[in-house]
């Protein structure tokens, strides 16, 4: 911690005060010895004694050291003259000694100023660096020096870091062990990725590079890559989710890049009979009847160069058995691992279709297109969110004003809202495949309600009363039931009118085989015509009216599907302008097949 003493209007640091005392003490000691030598006629005057305060003072304070050298020379010459006068040779020798005081002081001052200038320049470079810099002792790992950028990055002060060791900055023991192993090799290290922990105990991704300054001191640069790593992890998560969607999707999917097949999903394998390994790297035209190859290429070119809207083409596909199968293809331009590609949704078109079959086919086609669009919409959101977070985390470095930061915060909220909607679209696509399992467990309902209310901060916006037995438990998928309740509670708070009053009640007689949990608000209400439509993924508002529930259609659609997976249902009772009650009804006991074969 830096502090200063105030003396006669001047600020004196502890180090300066100690040095002043040392210089004054040495100078006075030299004068006393010289005085004693002259007064007692000891026969010797030790001129070399004056070099101690002169060199010490000139090293730390070059200009003031010269003044001290002049003063010491004058004192020494005065006492020496009194002692040896009228010895001419002695007087000349004394004068030369006095001049040496000043000459040596001038040389030390020159060297000291050069050294200080170099040190100041190096420190300026360190302080102005756009990366964090830290110098530590290799043997004790004690932190010796840090710059301002590192302190801002981690939230520590220089005093905090001075009390820490370098390994304490690591978030986990695995990174700490790898660091120690790399440091022990003695080599210069570049691009060592690790996770630090900041003052708020939050992890932050960094890139480290270090080299030795001396045998013991190590200089390490710290580059903040947290926003980049989070964006990359989010992108990897998207790719994983998208692969899950495409692999389990009921319609056939083909991805071509540079006029070669790079991916086919299991549905296409079932349709064509070709295994993925037999098709990868092949020309997609080999799967199209010669008469339709020109139309196929035209659709590919249009999708790749001219339009973001999926291109539709009806062609005959060649399956492994040698037969031809009519199909409708939808061509969409995408980015796969940063490289332009074409995604093809293939819909099998049999010769005769019933009305029910056509409806199912239309639904499959719609889900395929929606799933593709959801992925394509979400992919560019990741770098946008990453750059916004980067600007907001370090506004000073990027010259972001407070007004601009407020705008960026609103942009981040909008992007996050869009990402949430797209996630729900992808989630709906996965649920529709019928391959989403239920992870049954027995959990406390009151505890779950409190967790949801606290996490959502709903108590800040509404008066919520809970009328639920303290020992009430559900035997169900806790995560999915939590999603359903959170959706109901969020809507109740959002669409209630002042004063917002929300009631959560549980009513179910012991002989009843179903749980009945209700959430009632005092909101605007829902018309009878809209009660069924609010559970549709994309409800259409009435002509000339704005549909307030269009923003919650996806979450309610997901909630309905989750409850249906539990063999239950959702009820809605509403009185316009007074209240709306959503009811969640699920069996008290899990299905027999889950009991025997599930979790």
Query: Which strand (E) or helix (H) includes residue 155?
Result: none
* 419 touches 385 (CB < 8 A): yes
pLDDT band at 349 (very low <50, low <70, confident <90, very high): low
pLDDT score recorded for residue 544: 42
Kindly report the pTM of this predicted structure.
0.40
User: Which of 214-218, 374-378, 432-436, 500-504 is the least confident region?
Assistant: 374-378
Whether residue 161 is predicted with pLDDT greater than 60 in this model: the reply is: yes
Whether residue 363 is predicted with pLDDT greater than 60 in this model: the reply is: no
Q: Which residue has the tokens 């006629």?
A: 41
C-alpha to C-alpha distance for 1 and 42, rounded to whole angstroms: 50
Whether residue 542 is predicted with pLDDT greater than 70 in this model: the reply is: no
pLDDT score recorded for residue 584: 94
pLDDT score recorded for residue 582: 92
Q: What percent of the chain has pLDDT over 90?
A: 14
pLDDT score recorded for residue 587: 93
pLDDT score recorded for residue 445: 94
| Interval 338-354 mean pLDDT | 70
Q: Domains in the chain, ordered, with CATH?
A: 5-127 (no CATH), 130-224 (3.30.450.20), 230-383 (3.30.450.20), 440-597 (3.30.565.10)
Whether residue 86 is predicted with pLDDT greater than 50 in this model: the reply is: yes
User: For the segment 432-475, what is each residue's pLDDT rounded down to a tens digit?
Assistant: 666 678 889 999 999 999 999 988 888 888 899 999 999 999 99
C-alpha to C-alpha distance for 438 and 332, rounded to whole angstroms: 33
Whether residue 9 is predicted with pLDDT greater than 80 in this model: the reply is: no
C-alpha to C-alpha distance for 96 and 91, rounded to whole angstroms: 9
Whether residue 3 is predicted with pLDDT greater than 50 in this model: the reply is: no
Nearest Cα to Cα of residue 484 among 431, 533, 435: 431
pLDDT score recorded for residue 351: 47
* 535 touches 562 (CB < 8 A): no
- Three-state secondary-structure class, residue 135: strand
pLDDT score recorded for residue 448: 94
Mean pLDDT of the chain: 78
pLDDT score recorded for residue 126: 57
pLDDT band at 312 (very low <50, low <70, confident <90, very high): confident
pLDDT score recorded for residue 585: 94
- Name the token pair of 286: 């080999």
Q: What percent of the chain has pLDDT over 70?
A: 77
C-alpha to C-alpha distance for 561 and 568, rounded to whole angstroms: 9
Query: Which strand (E) or helix (H) includes residue 543?
Result: none
pLDDT band at 353 (very low <50, low <70, confident <90, very high): very low
| Interval 226-230 mean pLDDT | 81
User: Which of 270-279, 368-377, 414-423, 491-500 is the least confident region?
Assistant: 368-377
Q: Which residue has the tokens 């709906």?
A: 428
Whether residue 509 is predicted with pLDDT greater than 50 in this model: the reply is: yes
* 216 touches 138 (CB < 8 A): yes
| Interval 231-246 mean pLDDT | 70
Count the Cβ atoms, other than its own, within 10 Å of residue 498: 7
| Interval 301-321 mean pLDDT | 77
| Interval 155-165 mean pLDDT | 87
Whether residue 249 is predicted with pLDDT greater than 80 in this model: the reply is: no
pLDDT band at 382 (very low <50, low <70, confident <90, very high): low
Which residue blocks in 61-132 are alpha helix, DSSP H? 62-84, 88-128
pLDDT band at 214 (very low <50, low <70, confident <90, very high): confident
C-alpha to C-alpha distance for 512 and 78, rounded to whole angstroms: 114
Nearest Cα to Cα of residue 208 among 227, 188, 194, 197: 194
pLDDT score recorded for residue 352: 42
Whether residue 261 is predicted with pLDDT greater than 50 in this model: the reply is: yes
Residues 6+ apart with CB under 8 A from 357: 350
User: Which of 170-174, 378-382, 524-528, 558-562 is the least confident region?
Assistant: 378-382
pLDDT score recorded for residue 561: 87
Top-confidence residue, 41 or 547: 41
| Interval 222-242 mean pLDDT | 76
User: For the segment 16-56, what is each residue's pLDDT rounded down to a tens digit?
Assistant: 788 888 888 888 888 787 777 766 665 566 677 777 888 88
User: For the segment 97-144, what is each residue's pLDDT rounded down to a tens digit?
Assistant: 778 888 888 888 787 767 665 555 555 555 566 688 888 888 888 888
User: For the segment 272-310, what is each residue's pLDDT rounded down to a tens digit?
Assistant: 888 888 888 899 998 999 888 888 888 888 877 755 556
In b/e form, how buried is each residue of 111-139, taking b as 16+ CB within 10 angstroms?
Answer: ebeeeeeeeeeeeeebeeeebbbbbbebe
pLDDT band at 210 (very low <50, low <70, confident <90, very high): confident
Q: Assign 3-state DSSP to the chain and report helix, strand, coil percentages, each to 5.
A: 55, 25, 25
In three-state form (DSSP H/G/I as H, E/B as E, the rest C), the secondary structure along 213-278 is: CCCCEEEEEEEECHHHHHHHHHHHHHHHHHHHHHHHCCCEEEEEECCEEEEECHHHHHHHCCCHHH
């Amino acid at each position: 911690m830096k502090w200063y003493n105030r003396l006669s209007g001047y600020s004196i640091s502890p180090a300066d005060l100690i040095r002043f005392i040392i210089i004054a003490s040495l100078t006075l000691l030299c004068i006393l010895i010289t005085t004693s030598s002259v007064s007692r006629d000891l026969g010797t005057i030790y001129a070399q004694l004056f070099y101690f305060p002169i060199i010490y003072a000139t090293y730390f304070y070059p200009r003031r050291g010269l003044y001290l050298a002049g003063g010491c020379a004058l004192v020494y010459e005065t006492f020496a003259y009194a002692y040896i006068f009228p010895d001419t040779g002695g007087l000349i020798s004394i004068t030369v000694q006095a001049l040496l005081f000043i000459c040596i002081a001038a040389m030390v001052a020159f060297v000291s100023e050069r050294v200080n200038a170099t040190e100041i320049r190096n420190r300026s470079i360190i302080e102005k660096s756009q990366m964090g810099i830290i110098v530590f002792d290799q043997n004790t790992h004690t932190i010796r020096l840090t710059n301002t950028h590192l302190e801002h990055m981690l939230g520590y002060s220089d005093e905090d870091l001075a009390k820490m060791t370098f390994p304490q900055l690591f978030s986990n023991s695995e990174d700490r062990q790898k660091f120690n192993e790399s440091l022990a090799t003695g080599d210069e290290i570049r691009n060592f990725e690790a996770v630090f922990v900041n003052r708020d105990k939050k992890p932050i991704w960094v890139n480290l590079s270090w080299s030795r300054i001396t045998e013991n001191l190590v200089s390490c640069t710290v580059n903040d890559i947290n926003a980049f790593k989070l964006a990359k992890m989010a992108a990897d998560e998207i790719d994983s989710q998208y692969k899950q969607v495409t692999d389990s999707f009921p319609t056939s999917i083909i991805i071509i890049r540079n006029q070669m097949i790079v991916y086919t999903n299991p549905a296409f394998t079932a349709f064509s009979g070709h295994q993925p390994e037999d098709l990868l790297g092949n020309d997609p035209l080999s799967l199209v009847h010669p008469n339709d190859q020109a139309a196929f290429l035209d659709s590919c070119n249009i999708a790749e160069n001219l339009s973001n809207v999926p291109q539709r083409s009806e062609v005959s596909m060649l399956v492994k058995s040698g037969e031809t199968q009519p199909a409708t293809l939808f061509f969409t331009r995408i980015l796969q691992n940063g490289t332009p590609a074409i995604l093809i949704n293939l819909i099998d078109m049999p010769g005769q279709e019933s009305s029910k079959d056509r409806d199912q086919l239309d639904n499959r086609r719609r889900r395929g297109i929606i799933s593709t669009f959801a992925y394509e919409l979400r992919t560019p959101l990741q770098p946008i969110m990453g750059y916004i977070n980067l600007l907001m985390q370090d506004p000073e470095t990027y010259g972001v004003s407070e007004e601009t930061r407020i705008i960026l915060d609103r942009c981040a909220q909008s992007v996050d809202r869009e990402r949430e909607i797209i996630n729900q679209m992808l989630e709906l696509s996965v649920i529709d495949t019928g391959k989403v399992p239920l992870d049954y467990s027995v959990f406390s309902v009151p505890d779950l309600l409190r967790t949801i209310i606290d996490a959502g901060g709903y108590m800040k916006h509404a008066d919520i009363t809970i009328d639920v037995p303290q020992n009430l438990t559900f035997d169900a998928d806790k995560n999915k039931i939590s999603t359903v309740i959170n959706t109901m509670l969020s809507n109740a708070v959002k669409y209630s009118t002042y004063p917002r009053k929300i009631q959560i009640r549980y009513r179910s007689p012991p002989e009843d085989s179903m749980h009945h949990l209700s959430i009632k608000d005092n909101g605007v209400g829902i018309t009878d015509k809209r009660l069924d439509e609010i559970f549709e993924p994309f409800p259409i508002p009435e002509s000339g009216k704005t549909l307030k529930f269009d923003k919650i259609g996806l979450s309610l659609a997901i909630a309905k599907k989750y409850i249906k997976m539990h063999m239950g249902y959702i009820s809605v009772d509403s009185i316009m302008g007074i209240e709306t009650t959503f009811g969640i009804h699920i069996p008290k006991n899990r299905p027999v097949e889950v009991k025997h074969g599930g979790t």
